[in-house]
Amino acid sequence: MIKFLKRSSSGLALTTSLLATAAIMLSACDSKTADFEELAKTSEAMQAPPEPTVDKYGDPTGPATVQQAREFLEEAEAKIEELNEYGSRVYWVNANFITDDTNWLAAKVGAEAALLSTNLANRAKRFNDLTLPPDMARKMDGLKRGSNFPAPDKDGAAEKLSTLMTKLDSTYGTGKFIFDEKAKTSRKFEENTELNKNEVVLNLGEASDIIAKSRDPETLNAIWQGWRTISKPMKDDYASMVKIVNEGARELGFADTGALWRSGYDMPADDFVKEADRLFAQVKPLYEQLHCYTRAALNTKYGDDIVPLDQPIRADLLGNMWAQQWGNVYELVEPKGATKGVDVTKLLEENDYDALKMVQTAETFFTSMGFDPLPDTFYKRSLITKPADREVQCHASAWDIDDRDDIRIKMCTKVNAEDFSTVHHELGHNFYQRAYKDQPVFFKDGANDGFHEAIGDMIALSITPDYLVKIGLLYEKDVPGADADLALLLRQAMDKVAFLPFGLMVDQWRWKVFSGELTPATYNSGWWELRNQYQGLRAPNERPADAFDPGAKYHIPGNTPYMRYFLAHILQFQFHRAACEQSGFEGPLHRCSIYDNKEVGEKFNAMMEMGASKPWPDALEAFTGARDMDATAVLDYFAPLMTYLEDQNKDRTCGW
Ligand code: X8Z
Ligand code: ZN
């Protein structure tokens, strides 16, 4: 995630306070010098041309010119750059050290950013009727979209919005609950709560480990419920926030905030909805087969009461707090008698990997493709393990502090396969940021947000058994043969295919929230309807009337749009297939690794350094030759698995 630019298109503290001060001084002068001015006006009118009039932003009224547009963009660029760096540093400190004071600072700079972005978006409207050169028009369009969380142009709105957003984020980041290990129950954590015997306080990292490893349904249910106690108190703040950003979005000319988000893909917003549906329709049959197969395996493990074969799957049984990736329960679905694939967690442990070594290994992948090594400051300034003595926002993120070389990650890395993948994901953001650092600030972004999320994931698809041999994690003799392909593909599908409907439903929910189709009273039931519809999942227990389960997923209180991850899960396979074709690889896609391939690296970099300077189909074409997002790459990759799943499921009643 690129924290600052993403969170709000930008802002500038100085502008705001200067503007405010100027307004106060002007009105004071006005009243004192009224008589003098009247006199002056009459005499001046005879001699000098009238003073150009200005609008409420201080911009000249009357027909706008291309030169004025150019100057406005230069001014905007300078202000954005300045506030970006300042804001990034404040946000960095806040995320690495969550306290009341750093929350205060983050809320303050967030308000400044919201004010600047609203100011620039409104001022950009002045150039609406002007035909601008394409580059300038693209910059102007970006400004007119404001930010993903726009503040309306009225006193106090930016401050209120930013305070709410900071509070939601830190509530998630500091969330904990109480778990009774013996009774297998959980309850809400409050400061100074006295713990009973057998009770422990758990944070998300600890709770996630239990969800990943425990196979006891009662424990899983309790942990799952426990984590969802942290989000109940968010509901009212979330509803207030929605109201404010919707007002901001309407001022920018959008029906609601969802429409604003959907307008960010170089195509009409309605077309984007169709595009997402089209992509999901391509992969839905594969997901349905995986769901059917997984449910049957869980039924074998847990029995009919816990996993009935005609019901959606209980969401706490899939090895992940949100059931968004299922790889942690791979051992429960492993094809019986089939040759084993590789267990990356085990290899990392056996080879004494720590968080630093994981990051260095991921870096080496990129440098092997010809990318420059990360700067020394990356290792000096990044946070890669959870500190014991302070509150940090553990949700992994990648940062570009100065929009040039000061790139970092922040991640509470654990030594396991999931985080090994995530480390590559995060470095993908950083290498992308550095590739487009010479673009103007408006274009320092992914071709679309799905591209940003797909870069590192595409690299991680190259973590094949042969690659693991090259980096010394696996002995040559232990490389599984072709008879292990099924196991390798199923392990991958449990993460990547399982994710697809989740990736889509999160913003389906938010779109409904922003449009008003869901209200605070139906936030939670609406969430579960979508979980059911898209993922075929159900809550393990009756949800309390005041539950706010969406808030237990980082990107809701963290206010990060989610469609990007759905797109990334399609794009990464498209990138991977293109890269493997370029490298002349002829085997199955899941055995292809582009490690050490400089030609692919050069072409990948050519796409990456474009940033957001051109519509995303241009960037996609630069690397893959195609101009459309296309899920056939997912289907190609998993084709042998699909055949197997269909065969296994042939006597089952699939669906929910
Ligand atoms: O949030 C992330 C990254 C940071 S951009 C760790 N991801 C999504 C999630 O965790 O829900 C990566 C995959 C999906
Ligand atoms: Zn990411």
3-state secondary structure of 140: helix
Q: Whose CA is nearest to atom 7 of ligand 1?
A: 565
Q: Whose CA is nearest to atom 14 of ligand 1?
A: 565
What does pTM read for this prediction? 0.93
Ligand 1 atom at minimal distance to the Cα of residue 322: 11
The DSSP code sequence of 590-623 is GG---TT-HHHHHHHHHHHTTTTSS-HHHHHHHH
Ligand 1 atom at minimal distance to the Cα of residue 568: 13
Ligand 1 atom at minimal distance to the Cα of residue 565: 14
Q: Is the CB of 425 under 6 A from ligand 1?
A: yes
**Per-residue pLDDT at 338:** 86
Q: Whose CA is nearest to atom 3 of ligand 1?
A: 396
Q: Whose CA is nearest to atom 2 of ligand 1?
A: 396
Do 204 and 394 form a contact (C-beta atoms < 8 A)? yes
Ligand 1: centre distance to CA 562 (Å): 9
Q: How far apart are CA 195 and CA 218, in angstroms?
A: 20
Ligand 1: centre distance to CA 332 (Å): 24
Pocket test for ligand 1, best of 172, 400, 453, 506 (most atoms within 8 A of CB): 453
Query: How far is C-alpha 528 from the geometric centre of its chain's CA atoms?
Result: 21
**Per-residue pLDDT at 20:** 28
Closest ligand to residue 561's CA: 1
Ligand 1: centre distance to CA 427 (Å): 13
Ligand 2: centre distance to CA 26 (Å): 47
| pLDDT tens-digit series, residues 346-361 | 999 999 999 999 999 9
Name the nearest CA neighbour of 569 among 634, 491, 520.
Answer: 634
Dig out the tokens for 29 from the structure.
């002068």
In the predicted model, residues of the chain with pLDDT beneath 70 are 1-47
Give the chain's largest Cα–Cα span. 100
User: Which CA distances in Å does 36 have to 23, 40, 41, 54, 97?
Assistant: 20, 6, 9, 21, 56
The DSSP code sequence of 528-566 is HHHIIIII-EE-SSPPPTT--GGGGSTTTTTT---HHHH
**Per-residue pLDDT at 52:** 73
| pLDDT tens-digit series, residues 381-418 | 999 999 999 999 999 999 999 999 999 999 999 999 99
3-state secondary structure of 398: strand
Dig out the tokens for 233 from the structure.
């108190």
Q: Is the CB of 1 under 6 A from ligand 1?
A: yes
Ligand 2: centre distance to CA 124 (Å): 30
Known catalytic membership, residue 555: yes
**Per-residue pLDDT at 11:** 26
Q: How many CB atoms lie within 10 A of CB 99?
A: 14
Q: Is the CB of 422 under 6 A from ligand 1?
A: yes
Closest ligand to residue 422's CA: 1
**Per-residue pLDDT at 337:** 87
Burial class of residue 77 in the structure, from the number of CB atoms within 10 Å of its CB (0-12 exposed, 13-18 middle, 19+ buried)? middle
Ligand 1 atom at minimal distance to the Cα of residue 397: 4
Ligand 1: centre distance to CA 572 (Å): 14
Which residue in the list 452, 555, 569, 576 is annotated as catalytic?
Answer: 555
